[in-house]
A and B are shown apart, each in its own frame.
Chain A
């Protein structure tokens, strides 16, 4: 599923930021953290105000006409040749991998492929395009990491998160058993098959708690909402954070732009 060869661009002066709808409404701090990390690397971040959602919820539910209409509304937002960075493996995967399929046999096939080719998952971009060097300012701590299935299998960035966390001198990264297994989010799957999804997330939380870490980080807000929401409801001794928020806080010494 992963592109066999990934060719990273040279570090650009500007990027487009596609925030994703979940970050927009539920985790804007993670979005701000990502933007500030990019800016600290000397990159100007352009946030097109007309962006909404990549269209994935309708796409994976089979409503491709509706997904296409939403995706269509995003295609014209990135006119310049700059990379499009996304703080999510899932939405990134939708744009990079599925836009070309979604626009097949339409007049927008070429444009969709062109946009798709510029989409990068943000942590991957920070590590492999910006070659970011992180200076840890935080207290010693232990965290576990959950890489989303789309970040792992569609965007091929499973090694990126642990590498970034590995740069933080005071952070001890522990690995849960079955680290590669899905947390059970799956978008509308969690609503359509609540029992199965519930069984999956309960086991995921158990394995995370078993590591002894009191906190976990993840690449995707869907997984975060799922795992953290389960832990909170069931009073499990672990809380989650988007990896971008964590990286920014550890290296900036503050909670970031709280405006």
Chain B
């Protein structure tokens, strides 16, 4: 196994996208679960933005993120300074492995045996649970979806709703098998039983690990959005709280959070606001009754600073992880999150993961899109996802001599045969005489057209050549 492959969850070979996609397409349960869930999420988002000037709000969101990224190095310094003043210890990690080691060292220093986790996609990126277990530290997910996924020994299939691939029946059976709850389709009963089991873990955990939605530089505030209260518990009950996040999550001012939060919750789950919104500004002060004794922030790079070097790719880092792009993606809806084999699935995964795992490993990701543009249309911070997909397609075949590819692993998808086909195609279409001759001949000998055209005719009849081209017909009219 290559070194890069180890970064993918459960050591799934990301390159095996096609067989997984095929299996998912032919799995009616996957199709049904995702279709139903995504239809619901799309409807909720739409109604949540009713009465809002969504375009103006998206412009605002995009501008806030762009301004933050434009000043990223300064903002990170300011963030570190403010957090330090607030009593938060800041750590920097070049990659997931280093971030894991930092978490381990904090745990070891406290002689911690159990870690309770709130939802964090960066910790998935780091494969933190797996790592901690190897170090003899128990790591338990406390977000209900993550908890289910962990019990099933799976990875999240959606960045906001990790267990969206499972229906109530499957969850009921899983909880019954693993935790002894009664088989039931009563969602409230299932939730309550999970809650009961987790409550005890919260009380006894040595360390709480959470993610961060926005890190505010001017005040040194870590903002955390959640619905179940597990984030609040994770960050306040255990004596030590470790927040992990990507370096791009910083925003300049507290004021910036207002617009981003309004966009995030509506885009993600169609909520006007989540049940909990945590603003963490440091450990417990001497006169305070609760809160952790220690708070740490681990800022993870893991390929982000290389994205930052390119003016176009930089837009990838605007993402606020709402998941709207996958909710609206016709490909994601058909194949589900696990097909991608990456921490982040769907459109954002297709433009982000190649930087994290390399374009050699992620060579099939950019092509798995019809470029329909639904993702770009709903993105709350206006990331031009389709344009970035095209850019990565170019990078994956080294297709532009004027703008040489630079993403790690570029050129991995280039094949001599395909390159030759495009060269021939290009020559013919750049020579109008040859084109007219070729298309006329094709029209004339259309009966010889092959009836089978690869994957196309597996599902459709072959396109029918017309007896005369438009060129010929216009020529006959004197043009």
A153 touches B335 (CB 8 A): no
**Binary per-residue interface labels of chain A (205-240) against chain B in the complex, 1 for a CB within 8 Å, 0 otherwise:** 000000000000000000001100110111000000
CB distance from A40 to the nearest CB of B (A): 15
Interface-facing stretch out of A62-70, A159-167, A246-254: A62-70
Within the assembled complex, what's the spacing in Å between the Cα atoms of A153 and B372? Answer: 8
Q: Is B475 touching A153 in the complex (CB atoms < 8 A)?
A: no
- Known contacts A49-B475, A197-B455; A149/B429 CB under 8 A: no
Q: Which of B91-99, B260-268, B363-371 lines the interface with chain A?
A: B363-371
Judging by beta carbons under 8 Å apart, are B402 and A106 in contact?
yes
Chain B CB within 10 A, most for which of A105, A181, A193: A193
1/0 contact trace for B369-401 toward A, CB 8 Å? 111111011000000101100100111110111
Report whether A186 and B435 are in contact in the complex, using a CB–CB cutoff of 8 Å.
no
Within 8 Å CB of B178, what residues of A?
Answer: none
B369→A195 contact, CB < 8 A: no
Asked whether A201 lies within 8 Å of B459 as measured between CB atoms, the reply is: yes
B456 touches A194 (CB 8 A): yes
A1 to B62, CA, bound (A): 13
Asked whether B425 lies within 8 Å of A149 as measured between CB atoms, the reply is no
Report chain B residues within 8 Å CB of A200: 330-331, 334, 370
Within 8 Å by CB of B454, from A23, A150, A191, lies A191
Cβ of B429 and Cβ of A1 under 8 Å apart? no
A134 CB-CB contact with B under 8 Å: no
Q: Are B460 and A50 in contact (CB under 8 A)?
A: no
Answer whether residue A124 sits at the interface, using C-beta atoms and an 8 A cutoff: no
Q: Is B106 in the interface zone, CB < 8 Å from A? A: no
Within 8 A of A (CB), among B423-460: 423, 425-432, 435-436, 439, 442-443, 453-460
Contact in complex: B454, A26 (CB < 8 Å): no
Complex interface bits, B467-478 against A, C-beta within 8 A gives 1, otherwise 0: 011110111110
Is there a chain B Cβ closer than 8 Å to A199's Cβ? yes
B463 near A26 with CB under 8 A, answer yes
Q: Report whether A225 and B463 are in contact in the complex, using a CB–CB cutoff of 8 Å.
A: yes
Q: Chain B contacts of A63 at CB under 8 A?
A: 394, 397, 399, 419, 422, 426
Contacts of A154 in B (CB 8 A): 373
Question: Which of chain B's residues has its CB closest to A35's CB?
Answer: B474
Within 8 A of B (CB), among A112-146: none
Q: Given A191-B454, A197-B455: A32 and B470 within 8 A (CB)? A: yes
Q: Which residues of B contact A105 (CB under 8 A)?
A: 402-403
B309 near A: Cβ within 8 Å? no
Please tell me the number of chain B residues within 8 Å of chain A, measured between CB atoms: 78
Pairwise interchain contact A150-B439, C-beta atoms closer than 8 A: no
Determine whether A83 belongs to the interface, using a CB cutoff of 8 Å to chain B: no
Contact across chains for A52 and B429 when beta carbons are under 8 A apart: yes
Q: How many angstroms from the CA of A25 to the CA of B291 in the assembled complex?
A: 71
Is A66 a contact of B470 with CB atoms below 8 Å? Answer: no
Q: Are A57 and B471 in contact, CB atoms less than 8 angstroms apart?
A: no
**B25 is an interface residue with CB less than 8 A from chain A:** yes
The answer to whether B373 touches A185 (Cβ under 8 A) is no
Task: Tell me the complex Cα distance, A182–B375, Å.
Answer: 12
Asked if B203 is an interface residue, CB under 8 A from chain A, the answer is no
Interface residues of A in 32-61 (CB under 8 A from B): 32, 35, 46-47, 49-53, 55, 57-61
- The residues of B that contact A192 with a CB separation of less than 8 Å are 367, 455
Instruction: Tell me whether A67 and B439 are in contact (CB under 8 A).
Output: no
For residue B397, which residues in chain A have a CB less than 8 angstroms away from its CB? 61-63
Contact B401 A65 (CB under 8 A): yes
Is the CB–CB distance between A194 and B466 below 8 Å?
no
* Distance, CA A105 to CA B443, complexed state (A): 38
Q: Find out whether the CB atom of B390 lies under 8 angstroms from the CB atom of A28.
A: no
Q: Mark B403-424, 1 if CB is under 8 A from A, else 0.
A: 1000000000100000100110
CB nearest neighbor in A for B469: A24
Are B403 and A26 closer than 8 Å at their CB atoms?
A: no
- Asked whether B465 is an interface residue with its Cβ less than 8 Å from the other chain, the reply is yes
| CA of A50 to CA of B471, assembled, Å | 9
Complex contact B396–A62 (CB within 8 A)? yes
Q: How far is the CA of A1 from the CA of B423 in the complex (A)?
A: 30
Chain B residue contacts of A149, Cβ below 8 A: 370-374
Write the nearest CB–CB distance from A73 to chain B, whole angstroms.
Answer: 4
Contact B430 A69 (CB under 8 A): yes
Q: A49-B432, A72-B430 known; A190 and B456 CB under 8 Å? A: yes
Does chain B have a CB within 8 A of A175? no
Which of A24, A191, A196 is B334 in contact with, Cβ under 8 Å?
A196
Contact between A259 and B373, CB atoms less than 8 A apart: no
| B439 to A, closest residue via Cβ | A25
Instruction: Tell me whether A202 is interfacial, beta carbon within 8 Å.
Output: yes
Are B393 and A60 within 8 A (Cβ)? yes
Inside 8 A of B69's CB, which chain A residues have their CB?
A: none
Give chain B nearest CB distance to A162 CB in angstroms: 19
Partner of B479, one of A46, A201, A226, A230: A46
Question: How far is B373's CA from A245's CA once the two chains are assembled, in angstroms?
Answer: 27
Interface assignment of A81: CB less than 8 Å from any CB of chain B: no
The minimal Cβ–Cβ distance linking B173 to chain A, given in whole angstroms, is: 27
Q: Are A29 and B430 in touch, CB under 8 angstroms?
A: no
Among A1, A52, A190, the residue within 8 A (CB) of B384 is: A1
Residue B462, interface by CB 8 Å? yes
**In the assembled complex, A92 has its CB within 8 A of some CB on chain B:** no
A189 to B442, CA, bound (A): 24
Asked if residues A1 and B386 are in contact (CB atoms below 8 Å), the reply is yes
Chain A interfacial positions (CB closer than 8 Å to B): 1, 4, 19, 21, 23-29, 31-32, 35, 46-47, 49-53, 55, 57-70, 72-73, 101, 104-106, 149-150, 152-154, 178, 180-182, 184-202, 225-226, 229-230, 232-234, 257, 259
Can you list 20 contacts pairing A with B, beta carbon distance less than 8 Å? A1-B376, A25-B442, A32-B470, A47-B474, A62-B366, A66-B425, A66-B426, A73-B431, A149-B371, A149-B372, A149-B373, A153-B374, A184-B370, A193-B455, A196-B21, A197-B455, A197-B459, A200-B334, A230-B460, A233-B461
